[in-house]
Amino acid sequence: MHIRRTPRRPRTTATALAAAALLVSACSSGHSSTTGTGTVEAALAALPRSTPSALAPYYDQKLSWRDCGVSGFQCATMKAPLDYAEPGSGDIRLAVARVKATGKGKPLGSLLVNPGGPGGSAIAYVQLYAGLGYPAEVRARYDMVAMDPRGVARSEPVECLNGRQMDAFTQTDVTPDDQKETDALVGQFRKFAEGCGAHSPRLLRHVSTVEAARDMDILRAVLGDKQLNYVGASYGSFLGATYAGLFPDRSGRLVLDGAMDPSLHARELNLEQTAGFETAFQAFAKDCVRQTDCPLGGKGTTPAQVGDHLKAFFTKLDAHPVPAGDADGRKLGEALATTGVIAAMYDQAEWPQLRDALNSAMKENDGAGLLALSDSYYERGGDGQYTNLMSANAAVNCLDLPPAFNTPDQVEKSLPAFEKASPVFGKGLVWASLNCAYWPVRPTGEPHRIEAKGAAPIIVVGTTRDPATPYRWAQSLSRQLSSARLLTYVGDGHTAYGRGSTCIDSTIDTYLLKGTPPPAGKRCS
């Protein structure tokens, strides 16, 4: 499951090669079972209200804050048990950052933010955007706080492959046409998994969403807050919902934006997300044919024809990659081009850039534009090095849920369903779902419902044409959470808060500042 966030918007999803379980990871507490229809019967169980004595040293620790080089920000390191089942067996060090409340008025404590992933750096997000880009009224009353989850960025990161190995991984053909290409794809999945196991053998067993949520409760306590106030986007919504399920009495004002459905199995998640990308592509196609610079067809061209043209272009790249002006000699092949297109589906503001990139690649044999979109999505720097986004993404997803598929034969049998869900992206996304089959660590989580009985009102936000977290997921999560209020954004793009809707922003700001949730069924556009 990928992410890729810009200062203005976070994104999270699985795509291309490394997106094993695609978007979500789910963890359960206790036994979980399913009916014949796949409906999950078990709910995430709340932890005891009292803090176990073995965890007291963590809850009682004092953070040593220091200036961390970004104007107004302070940083600290927090300790948590690597294994909550054996708190005395070793610690993990977690990076925390904050910017103090800036204005007058009664302080509201801390507001923890997470941009998603799994694998996205919350600290980078808060320093680039949330610390200064959140509404002034919110920043005036809250200390803006971020913690990189265990295994991510500055918090003892999971490491798997070096830059050159990642280049090979991201360029591997994910739409194999024969046994040789299938073997090559499986070989890359195995190499990635083996790299993670070799470089992070112990940590790899302890990067689940449940453990990250428990870390958040330690942070809440050491910050001096009785309840956790939180804004989480995409995978961050699942992390926040998990916290509410484990600690309903300690859940304060929670915003779960671009919500995920924890009750789905990995195959269902991947299939529904594939359909979500098709929905977003259809919206792009309808807009594209109205533009004079659309490289995939003009006036009178149907969205289906636009999709056919794009597939034909991908097929051409599969056989003959085009130059991309890359210093490391990479060319634009089908895999990187597909990732570049998917990256632009997260935000309609990127559609003009995508049209430019497609025009250059299709008409001028210049793949630089699509390569740049792909690199930003994978968080590849100009020096050829990657952040640990992809490594942490797979590590969390493969621990949180059993694999969507265990063998290439299972993938083959599901091809028709995925290609029906998305004629353009279905084949690549179903093969990407095989990643966790070769993971060196057994999963610890299962699908489950999250009810969080007794929690304060929680806002669940869903966007009707969200590519990465389909709207149905927000509807489902809002039905599971006992105190949820569903807030709907009728529009395009991934997540809604801070993306230009005055209606969405004012509704969430009012909730964060006054604790007043929106009325049931509120819709914005």
Cα 471 from Cα 488, distance rounded (Å)? 8
Quick one: which of 430, 468, 488 has its CA closest to 276?
468
In 3D space, the residue among 200, 301, 255 whose CA is nearest the CA of residue 485 turns out to be 255
Q: Residue 18 in contact with residue 434, Cβ under 8 Å?
A: no
Distance of alpha carbon 222 from alpha carbon 356, whole angstroms: 49
Beta bridge partners of 502: none
31: annotated active-site residue: no
Active site residue 383: no
Catalytic residue among 143, 167, 466, 505: 466
Query: Is residue 94 within 8 Å of residue 80, measured between CB atoms?
Result: yes
Catalytic residue among 265, 375, 494, 501: 494
To the query of whether residue 199 is one of the catalytic residues in this protein, the response is: no
Q: Which of 472, 396, 474, 482 is nearest to 439 (CA)?
A: 396
Classified as helix, coil or strand, 324 is coil
Q: What angle do CA 279, 284, 286 make, to 5 degrees?
A: 95
Query: In sequence order, which residues have a C-beta less than 8 Å from that of residue 308 and are 6 or more positions away?
Result: none
One-character DSSP codes across 263-291: TS-HHHHHHHHHHHHHHHHHHHHHHHTTS
Which residue of the set 155, 234, 414, 422 is catalytic?
234
Using CA atoms, how far apart are residues 508 and 514, in angstroms rounded to an integer?
Answer: 10
Instruction: Give the phi and the psi of residue 446 in degrees, each rounded to 5.
Output: -140, 165
What residues are labeled active site? Answer: 234, 466, 494
